[in-house]
Structure 1
């Protein structure tokens, strides 16, 4: 088989790494890819939003399966375009990708199908949103309705901060067209977890539990990012909660999407807030999490390719995935200044030394090649993933690898996985 992976971040590097291990696969392409995956895949200079170019490439190269990493091409309708050409592709249709593309759509879906989530209202009018915020009080959450690269959620501690966020989104248009509407919702307390399930639109195949670390600084301080690290398994998701999430969230969501006339195929990402052995859904995403994908695929024993293909064909029959009996932890190394403005082009040292550590794999995210050297090219630059028989060992491995890497201004959190240890 020939497989095309769309995307160029850490998630896509992990997907390429896992897909390339399959005995079914003879060649992997990645568009646009990154320098870290060149030993595993042929990188193709096509942007993720160049839907026509990607489709033409898949036809020309007779690609057997395309796997879409990021949310943008999904919301632009890449799956519909490929299927219209008779091409097999893993991911939800444009209509189904609204589950991530519009916070209002996903909240309304949850309300309609009885899926527990925070109380909310959606607004396009600034004054109406401000009045609602004053009525509800703070802390309160303000969300950009559309795609915002993981940065469109403001956890406002005061009423003034919440109204300022609404002004940024609706009036100043800080997030562009993605901010044509805002969702204002109840502030939930507890511990976050990420839950993923493969689906063909009807059948579901859940993955192991995982947990992301959204804020930039230790102790969950500072602004939200795309994710500063993740680990799997997440002890906060007990066996009992795991089954309830499948029964009370994943299955009703898939059934509800089918009932709405937009059956959901691909990977469903459920963001959860867990407290006192109960949970509410924070959000849905239409793709693998980044960085959760890295530890999850590091633990997955099953060949992922037949599952991806079965989902794309609407024929998911696998009853359960096999997992290595180990934990995995990914620590994200970010550029100085991220998630605000940051410099690019800084030379990175020590990647080979980190990869040489037993039980460590460095996944490239925001990197480029310049004069034969690897340089920074994004906010989140590398994801150092370590694994071991326990979370504690995996944490030690990940940081042993991370500490071998350096560039000017590099930053990372030092507390990835600590919540798991406390449990």
Structure 2
């Protein structure tokens, strides 16, 4: 996979405004920053927002950026994009690949940011068509889920007001130039668990047990639910003898410990409860059957709610897309989690988030190198993706803001 060139990636954009966004996209992709380390990214975003005439506040929720623009009486519309990148090694080989080892914009946040900036510019230029207030949020630490809590703890709504509507988009493997949107539950709840399992004696160490548990967990949805209702991935993080992290160090380290990372994505709260119970039960049963010398230890690393699209807001958004002649498809539920869900749940803000076509997708390696069902986005087909994402956000925001008299 390394060194592979993808047709169309990085080609020049036709217009001056979009060309500048394409250059910014490449720069953001080449210099990704993980959760709460987005200092360079936030500074670039804040400077561009200020140049567009927005009132800018940085360091919101530690490293987030908020930009507002008032244009007469009317509703407040929240537009959002993530700042951070996950800890994934880039293998695409594109000229603007990540220069930071072990970090890349694998989930499209670089594209989300430039499209939001493009929409902000378009809305500023076309302010005679709308009245109201834009609240543009560049959210920190979306990959870990901790950014949402940091924003709420920093008084996001108390400082900047509560929006009437929230809008956003998520890069996907839909065809370039298309958007995917429909009402109802669209994005999954995400629960990440970390399990520590212990060796079973001189004939079997913790790695064998952890690998067997990972295989069993990956099969949970196949035996219990359709993949559109629940998805579970699991990988072995590490295996260490007891002497490294405490323990009795018996059997020359074969009774050590191994760590697994488990990710469950679900679309219904009742199914979510049952899946998590099934995961915990499977881990304990596998360890008991193998004769592990200590019970497993399981803790929740992250828990983020799912998110649905409000029917009324979605109808208005789809109407805006249709009026602009955009190519719209109706996708099914997506296993991706939208970290904004926790921020919006705090005020029960009606929202519409859609899929933006244009990503190349490759299997994401699991920690043990065996591969996992999860996917990550390689650098997007830059055009027409930027132009489509810019138009989509600007059109939806204009439709949800107050119409000019």
Q: Shorter-normalised TM-score: what interval?
A: under 0.3
Tell me which structure has the larger Cα radius of gyration: 2
Pick 1 or 2: higher relative contact order, CA cutoff 8 A, min separation 6: 2
TM-score w.r.t. the length of structure 2 is 0.24
TM-score w.r.t. the length of structure 1 is 0.24
